[in-house]
Amino acid sequence: MYTQALNSETVVSTIDDEQKMTAFQARIDREEKIEPNDWMPAAYRKTLIRQISQHAHSEIVGMLPEGNWVTRAPSLKRKAALLAKIQDEGGHGLYLYCAAETLGVTREHLVDQLLSGKAKYSSIFNYPTLNWADVGVVGWLVDGAAIMNQIPLCRCSYGPYARAMIRVCKEESFHQRQGYELLLQMMKGSEDLKEMVQDAVNRMWWPSLMMFGPSDGVSEHSSNSMRWKIKRFTNDDLRQKFVDATVPQAKILGVTLPDPDLVFDEVSGNWKYGEPDWAEFKRVIAGHGVCNKQRLKDRISAHENGAWVREAALVYAEKQKSRMAQSAA
Amino acid sequence: MTENITPIWEVFIRARNGNAHRHAGSIHAADAEMAMQAARDIYTRREEGNSLWVVRSSDIHASDPGDGGMMFDPAADKIYRHPTFYELPEDVGNM
């Protein structure tokens, strides 16, 4: 019977025991969830730490493009909704960092990886939000794509990640709906407003498709992740689902999606779409998107400006502890 | 003569594979191992779960019921945090 504390240091052998490996895969195949203290292959742990922390970083960096519009929201209703949404993103980041921490990595290490540029976050947040319609399009397309990606993650084989995703997904619906409603309202307005919406869609459509990652043929992480049921669908499967869900929504909204190759395929029942510009995707991932430098700069300055709060909290906790010890003596 | 007090522990059970542990009740035990055994005997006689946590009750920090209003009421008038606040045409379907 074990009464070991959670999150204790786990020694991962470099050569994973073959028998343990077989038993582990059998558990995955039986749809058992893997929990923090369970044995897991070093590569499974490493993959999860990378994926969950990137996901957390994306939530945190994702607050920035929307934060750009808080002070310029056109009404109190829109401002309250935008603030609530940004607050949710912060919360999602925190659920996710904690899920990653159950794998034996510290928050400080993860944040350091983001700020030093070693860790990636979703490429979409390196695009600027240039007009108010961008806030709506981020909700509709960016959160729409995120939902498509996150729903299967609720069934991910790692328990803490799956449970965090269930919480996140429950909160995402509001994000997408407020964005779509905002756009519907703009589309009822003047020609200028309609043009703003179309302009935002034109700029955000392809970057949204790129959120699902490279095509299956070139995705380096896909096959292990599928075998371990960290992922349930391939990048291309999810991208297709997103396109199929979005085309009718664009029609109702009255905007055009900027893809001349977009055509309904009677045989498969899917919308065929053109090839995203993968060279652009690589450039943005490599740090050369429009906003990469600004985003990192903003995160670093937020972290540095918050340092005194973290220090003060720790010193205060120490002081309370020594006072307790004194009064007990 | 002062009798040593046996501490109280809070018991959490994972009912099913993949679920979070949920609080089930408390148990008296001298140490963690005995708490685990006692919790198993008292709380899982009818297949209530497949995983147990025991935590010293004194390690739990609870919110003050007197602060309930201050803590939780501010969420009550923020209806814009809910998806149903946003009206979409019916033909949009689920979003």
Tens of pLDDT, residue by residue over B2-40, are: 678 899 999 999 999 999 999 999 999 999 999 999 999
Of the options 3.40.50.300, 3.50.50.60, 1.20.20.10, 3.10.20.520, the CATH number for the domain spanning B8-90 = 3.10.20.520
Instruction: Assess whether pLDDT exceeds 50 at residue A166.
Output: yes
Among all residues of chain A, which has the CA nearest to that of B35? A3
pLDDT of residue A13: 56
pLDDT of residue B3: 74
Instruction: Assess whether pLDDT exceeds 70 at residue A11.
Output: no
Running DSSP on this structure, what letter comes out for residue A285? I
C-beta separation of A144 from A177 below 8 A? no
User: Cβ of B95 and A32 within 8 Å?
Assistant: no
User: Cβ of A81 and B78 within 8 Å?
Assistant: no
Rounded distance between C-alpha atoms, residue A301 and residue B25, angstroms? 46
Note the pLDDT tens digit of each residue in A196-223: 999 999 999 999 999 999 988 776 666 8
Among A1, A163, A174, beta carbon nearest to B83: A174
pLDDT of residue A217: 78
From chain A, the residues in CB contact with B85 under 8 A are 174, 178
**Secondary structure of chain A: what % helix, strand, coil (to 5)?**
65, 0, 30
- Mutation target among A181, A186, A241 for the B interface, most CBs of B within 10 A: A181
State ipTM. 0.86
pLDDT class of A9 with cuts at 50, 70, 90:
very low
From chain A, the residues in CB contact with B54 under 8 A are 3
Rounded distance between C-alpha atoms, residue A25 and residue A13, angstroms? 17
User: Cβ of A33 and B54 within 8 Å?
Assistant: no
B95/A contact by beta carbon, under 8 A: yes
Which residues, other chains included, contact A103 with Cβ-Cβ below 8 Å and sequence gap of 6+?
A36, A45, A48, A49, A52
Q: Please tell me the distance in Å from A206's CA to the nearest CA on chain B.
A: 21
Provide the strand spans (E) within chain A: 263-265, 270-272
pLDDT of residue A218: 73
Residue in the structure block whose two tokens are 């010890």: A325
Q: In the structure encoding, which two tokens stand for residue A24, read together?
A: 């582990």
pLDDT of residue A131: 96
DSSP calls for A116-134: TT-S---GGGGS---SHHH
User: Cβ of B95 and A159 within 8 Å?
Assistant: no
Please name the residues between 12 and 71 in chain B that touch chain A, using a CB distance below 8 Å: 17-18, 20, 32-33, 35-37, 51, 54
Question: What is the residue extent of each domain of chain B?
Answer: 8-90
Residue at A116: amino acid letter: S
| Partner residues linked to B28 by β-bridges | B8
Average pLDDT over residues A123-131: 97
pLDDT of residue A250: 98
Residue at A102: amino acid letter: T
User: Cβ of A163 and B20 within 8 Å?
Assistant: yes
Rounded distance between C-alpha atoms, residue A48 and residue A26, angstroms? 19
- Mutation target among B86, B87, B90, B92 for the A interface, most CBs of A within 10 A: B86
User: Cβ of B17 and A1 within 8 Å?
Assistant: no
Average pLDDT over residues A153-178: 95
Average pLDDT over residues A99-126: 96
Q: In terms of C-beta density within 10 A (0-12 exposed, 13-18 middle, 19 or more buried), how is residue A286 classed?
A: exposed
Rounded distance between C-alpha atoms, residue A147 and residue A175, angstroms? 10
Instruction: Assess whether pLDDT exceeds 50 at residue A258.
Output: yes
Residue in the structure block whose two tokens are 């065929």: A272
Size of interface A-B (CB pairs under 8 A): 56
- Mutation target among B13, B92, B95 for the A interface, most CBs of A within 10 A: B95
pLDDT of residue A16: 60
Rounded distance between C-alpha atoms, residue A299 and residue A240, angstroms? 33
Nearest to A243, CA basis, from A258, A254, A229: A258
Note the pLDDT tens digit of each residue in A23-61: 999 999 999 999 999 999 999 999 999 999 999 999 999
Rounded distance between C-alpha atoms, residue A245 and residue A242, angstroms? 5
Among A3, A33, A178, beta carbon nearest to B17: A33
Query: CA-CA distances (angstroms) from residue A35 to A6, A13, A328?
Result: 10, 18, 38
Rounded distance between C-alpha atoms, residue A224 and residue A232, angstroms? 11
Among all residues of chain B, which has the CA nearest to that of A144? B95
Instruction: Assess whether pLDDT exceeds 80 at residue A306.
Output: yes
User: Cβ of B87 and A32 within 8 Å?
Assistant: no
| Most distant pair of Cα atoms in chain A: their distance | 80
pLDDT of residue B2: 64
C-beta separation of A161 from A74 below 8 A? no
From chain B, the residues in CB contact with A88 under 8 A are 81
Q: In terms of C-beta density within 10 A (0-12 exposed, 13-18 middle, 19 or more buried), how is residue B59 classed?
A: exposed
Note the pLDDT tens digit of each residue in A65-106: 999 999 999 999 999 999 999 999 999 999 999 999 999 999
Among all residues of chain A, which has the CA nearest to that of B53? A3
pLDDT of residue A219: 67
User: Cβ of B78 and A80 within 8 Å?
Assistant: yes
Nearest to A271, CA basis, from A236, A235, A247: A247
Compute the half-sphere exposure of residue A1: CA atoms within 13 Å on the CB side of its CA: 15
Instruction: Assess whether pLDDT exceeds 70 at residue A12.
Output: no
From chain B, the residues in CB contact with A252 under 8 A are 89, 91-92
Across chain A, mean pLDDT equals 93
Instruction: Assess whether pLDDT exceeds 80 at residue B54.
Output: yes
Residue in the structure block whose two tokens are 């996901």: A55
